[in-house]
Chains A and B, each alone.
Chain A
Amino acid sequence: MQINWDTFWLEILQATADTFIMVGAALLFAGIIGLPLGIAVVVTRPGHLLENKYIFNILNPIINIFRSVPFIILLVAIIPFTRFVVGTSIGTTAAIVPLIIYAAPYIGRLVENSLLEIDPGVIEAAESMGATPNQIIFRVLVPEALSSLVLNFTIATIGLVGASAMAGVVGGGGLGDLAIAYGYQRFETEVMIVTVVLLVIIVQSIQSIGNRLSHIIRRR
């Protein structure tokens, strides 16, 4: 079958926009959930600022459970929940909900890693100055880890770009879906190449922006 490139570019444009919307929205909400989640898992662990066995022992396995479920299964399994939240179970909006659920625990883990890199001595110093746990979290932990947080959010964003390729299952659209639908299922190799090249460019750009931003924050 001959592709009509004049109209096809429009489709690619639409798919790119869908990818950006899905990844952007999912990143925003997953960040809003994941950042506090990561902070909570750090500060409630034994010997830390707000040590709390119960919270830590609940949050920690929950993160692992959600991270164990393959995204494609999660996508389908939570359809009733998706419908409850956004009123529909198909389309770009519907794909965002499972993406959030997929990325939030992942971001939580990444945030945890970033915060654990901070020298405990710095936290001790802040405690010795009479800083409250809140002050330590928002004026010591987060600013000290910021550069590393940015790098980890970059990783999470690229992970979302990958996961969003599966959004086609619920009619979410996006570049990944286009590559699968035309290139893989209909053997239109040119389409596949174009979309994959676009994805490569997007992932490269995200990584470069993340590196640059982290570098500026670390100012070296």
Chain B
Amino acid sequence: MIELKNVSKVFESGEKQVTAVQDVNLTVEKGDIYGVIGFSGAGKSTLLRCVNLLEKPTTGKVVVNGRDLTAISSTKLREARKKISMVFQHFNLLESKKVYDNIAFPLRLAGEDKPTIKNRVDQLLEFVGLSEQAEKYPDQLSGGQKQRVGIARALATSPDILLCDEATSALDPQTTASILELLKRINREYKITILIITHEMQVIRDVCQKVAVMENGKIIEQGSIFDVFSNPQTKTAQNFVSSVMNDRIPKSILHLLENDSRHIYRVTFVGDSTGYPLLSQVAKRFHVEVNVLHGQITELQDIPFGNLIIELQGKEDEIRRAQLYINQSVQLQEVLADAN
């Protein structure tokens, strides 16, 4: 659906050259909700704008729906953009136009006739839950409502792709949750591929199926949500995961480790294994005591994802056997004193 091939973007300001995006390769499959996360200044906003060529890549190809957008005329590009909609952090609504006219705007640009527009706009107002607000102006709406208008406007031309530029970053947590829910519904009901950029890991956790981590203009890590959340490779990715997973080992536990006879492990498990009483089995089968010290179970794409810190107490060989047993079904890692 979206393929970025060796995309780089260099900005020139006078003598200085700033590389915002460097040699990025990214593939978003049809129907995906794909998230790109990074701190501000990582280049993710520029990367997103390379997809619809609001920023023209300095080098590389942007292939959308099998067509290389960097190689087509500006007229064809404008046509292609009607199928690649965008939602913005600050909504970017027309302040002089009512909610209805804001949503109708892309349809009017495309030269649709009045009954078609009326039909489509009414349907979209209903979909985003703003039928009552059609005659209001944007400055009479709350942030969440404005973003719903922005989303309805983006959907007006029945796009294949929705690009979300920090779409929830200006909203409070509750509103964020409802907007994310709306994005999921759009993905499900309209089969629209969504590419989200954000600096909030919780957005990635709540809606995305795949994630790429961006730093200094490069993608430093990418994969499925499960892979990245259960086993982040880079320091930056680990930090992002920690920000929502609460998977850092507390100081009190690290203190326990100073007494080196203690055996403390991190257990991570996904999906089915959450339903299986593994730890009580271990306690019954082996001569060990199992002590849960710290942990959290959350949901990733409606599947439970757990992260527990446990201690095994008992004889060395019993512990080793228990360890092997646990490792058969879930991931087990010994926590060392120098870990953090």
Contact bitstring A93-104, B, C-beta under 8 A = 1, else 0 = 000000000000
Contact bitstring B65-89, A, C-beta under 8 A = 1, else 0 = 0000000000001111110111010
What is the CB-to-nearest-CB distance from A19 to chain B, in angstroms, rounded to a whole number?
33
Which 3 residue pairs are nearest across A and B when measured between Cβ atoms?
A: A130-B81, A125-B92, A130-B78
Residues of chain A lying within 8 A (CB to CB) of residue B330:
none
Residues of chain A lying within 8 A (CB to CB) of residue B82:
129-130
The answer to whether B78 touches A125, judged by C-beta atoms less than 8 angstroms apart, is no
The answer to whether B78 touches A144, judged by C-beta atoms less than 8 angstroms apart, is no
Verify if B52 is at the interface (C-beta below 8 Å from A).
Answer: yes
The answer to whether B92 touches A121, judged by C-beta atoms less than 8 angstroms apart, is yes
Verify if B256 is at the interface (C-beta below 8 Å from A).
Answer: no
The answer to whether A124 touches B92, judged by C-beta atoms less than 8 angstroms apart, is yes
Verify if A135 is at the interface (C-beta below 8 Å from B).
Answer: yes
- Apart from A131-B109, A139-B108, list 8 A-B contacts with CB within 8 A: A122-B92, A127-B54, A128-B86, A130-B77, A139-B105, A144-B94, A147-B96, A217-B96
The answer to whether B137 touches A140, judged by C-beta atoms less than 8 angstroms apart, is no
A144 to B90, CA, bound (A): 16
Q: Of B79, B93, B96, B139, which is within 8 A of A130 by CB?
A: B79
Contact bitstring A103-133, B, C-beta under 8 A = 1, else 0 = 0000000000000000101101111111110
A110 to B69, CA, bound (A): 38
The answer to whether B88 touches A139, judged by C-beta atoms less than 8 angstroms apart, is no
Q: Of A122, A124, A127, which is within 8 A of B94 by CB?
A: A122
Known: A132-B78, A143-B97, A144-B95. A125 touches B86 (CB 8 A): yes
Verify if B157 is at the interface (C-beta below 8 Å from A).
Answer: yes
Q: Could you say which interface size class chain A belongs to?
A: 20 to 34
Q: Of A119, A124, A219, which is within 8 A of B137 by CB?
A: A219
Most buried by A among B82, B84, B92, B157: B92
Footprint of A on B, CB under 8 Å?
52, 54, 77-82, 84-86, 88, 90, 92-97, 105-106, 108-110, 137, 139, 157, 163
Residues of chain A lying within 8 A (CB to CB) of residue B97:
143
What is the CB-to-nearest-CB distance from A149 to chain B, in angstroms, rounded to a whole number?
11
Residues of chain A lying within 8 A (CB to CB) of residue B86:
125, 128
- Please, which residue of chain B has its CB at the minimum distance from the CB of A145? B96
- Please, which residue of chain A has its CB at the minimum distance from the CB of B75? A132
The answer to whether A122 touches B93, judged by C-beta atoms less than 8 angstroms apart, is yes
Contact bitstring A134-159, B, C-beta under 8 A = 1, else 0 = 01000110011011000000000000
Known: A124-B54, A140-B94. A129 touches B88 (CB 8 A): no
Of the A-B pairs whose beta carbons lie under 8 Å apart in the complex, a sample of 30, sorted by A's number, is A119-B90, A121-B88, A121-B90, A121-B92, A122-B93, A124-B92, A125-B86, A125-B93, A126-B105, A127-B54, A127-B81, A128-B52, A128-B81, A128-B84, A128-B86, A129-B81, A129-B106, A129-B109, A130-B106, A130-B109, A130-B110, A131-B78, A131-B109, A135-B109, A139-B105, A139-B108, A139-B109, A140-B94, A143-B96, A147-B96
A144 to B101, CA, bound (A): 13
- Please, which residue of chain B has its CB at the minimum distance from the CB of A136? B109
What is the CB-to-nearest-CB distance from B64 to chain A, in angstroms, rounded to a whole number?
13
A189 to B162, CA, bound (A): 72
The answer to whether B109 touches A125, judged by C-beta atoms less than 8 angstroms apart, is no
Residues of chain B lying within 8 A (CB to CB) of residue A128:
52, 54, 81, 84-86, 163
What is the CB-to-nearest-CB distance from B150 to chain A, in angstroms, rounded to a whole number?
8
What is the CB-to-nearest-CB distance from A132 to chain B, in angstroms, rounded to a whole number?
7
A219 to B135, CA, bound (A): 13
Residues of chain A lying within 8 A (CB to CB) of residue B109:
126, 129-131, 135, 139
